[in-house]
Amino acid sequence: PALRADVVTIFPDYLAPLRLSLIGRAAQTGILDLAVHDLREWTHDRHRTVDDTPYGGGAGMVMRPEPWGEALGALVPPGTTPVPRLVVPTPAGRRFTQAVAVELAAEPHLVFACGRYEGIDARVAADAATRMRVDEISIGDYVLNGGEAAVLVVLEAVVRLLPGVVGNPESLTEESHAAEHDGLLEGPVYTKPPVWRGHEVPPVLLSGDHGAIGRWRREQALERTARVRPDLVPVPVAGRGLDGLT
C-alpha cells in the first residue's frame, strides 16, 4: 500500500465514514491499508478504565498512560521499520494545512492517537518520541470533544493526495491552497444549464477563448481571496514584479 494508517480510539465506530467513498475505495483497492483499534483492547481491569483524575486538579478527566503505552507498543513494536509518524490531534497542535497534508501523504505509515476527555497524559507523547516522530496537530482554532473528527479530516485530506485515489489528478493542482495555484482560493464553478432561474453563466466561460478564460479565472481567484482571505493574497516581493500573478 502507498499508506498504512492505524487509528487508536475509544470510539471506533466514529471512524466508520473512512470505509465510504474515496477513502473506502482506496482501502478496498489496497492503496490505503487502514486499521481502526479500540484502545480498551489494551486495558485489563473489569471496567476497562481509560481515564483518571488530573494531577494538580482541574475539571474533567485525563487519559491514563498505560493503555496508550501498550497500544502503541503493540502497533509499533521496537525495531519496526519504517518508523511511523504518530499524529496526535490536539487543540494545542501545529496548524494542519495543505502543506502538512502533502507532508503526511509522503509518509509510509501513520499512527493516529485519538484523545478524549481533557487529553492524553503528556508522558505518552514524550515516551513515543523516543522511538518515532510525534506530530501534535490542530485542525483549527475551535475545541472538539476528542480527536476522532480531526482524524477524519486529516485522513481525507491526506488520502486524496495519494496516486490513484482521485480520478483526475489535474483537479488536485487547480484547487484552493494548492501550491501550484499560489495558495489562492479557487473562484466560482459552473455547469449546464447556461441560464438557470435567470442567472447566466459568465459569457467568457462559454467563449472557447482559453486565454481569456484562464485570465478570468485568475482574476476571480485573486478577487475572492482578497475578499475572503486577505491573509493569503501574495505580496509582490521586490524584484519579482508581478510574475506568476498576471
Ligand X SMILES: Nc1cc(-c2ccc3ccn(Cc4ccc(CN5CCCCC5)cc4)c3c2)n[nH]1
- Positions touching ligand X (CB under 6 A) are 58, 89-91, 115-119, 138-140, 142-147, 150
Give the nearest distance from C-beta 118 to ligand X in angstroms. 4
Give the nearest distance from C-beta 119 to ligand X in angstroms. 5
Handedness of CA 114, 91, 61, 57 (dihedral sign): positive
Contact 133, 76 (CB under 8 A): no
Shorter beta-carbon distance to ligand X: residue 114 or 165: 114
Shorter beta-carbon distance to ligand X: residue 52 or 223: 52
Q: Which residue is nearest to ligand X (CB)?
A: 115
Shorter beta-carbon distance to ligand X: residue 140 or 164: 140
Give the nearest distance from C-beta 216 to ligand X in angstroms. 36
Contact 100, 42 (CB under 8 A): no
Mapping DSSP to helix (H, G, I), strand (E, B) and coil, where does residue 229 land?
Answer: coil
Query: Mind giving me the DSSP string for 15-75?
Result: GGGGGSHHHHHHHHTTSEEEEEEEGGGG--STT---EEPPTT--SS-EE-HHHHHHHHHHH
Shorter beta-carbon distance to ligand X: residue 27 or 121: 121
Give the nearest distance from C-beta 95 to ligand X in angstroms. 9
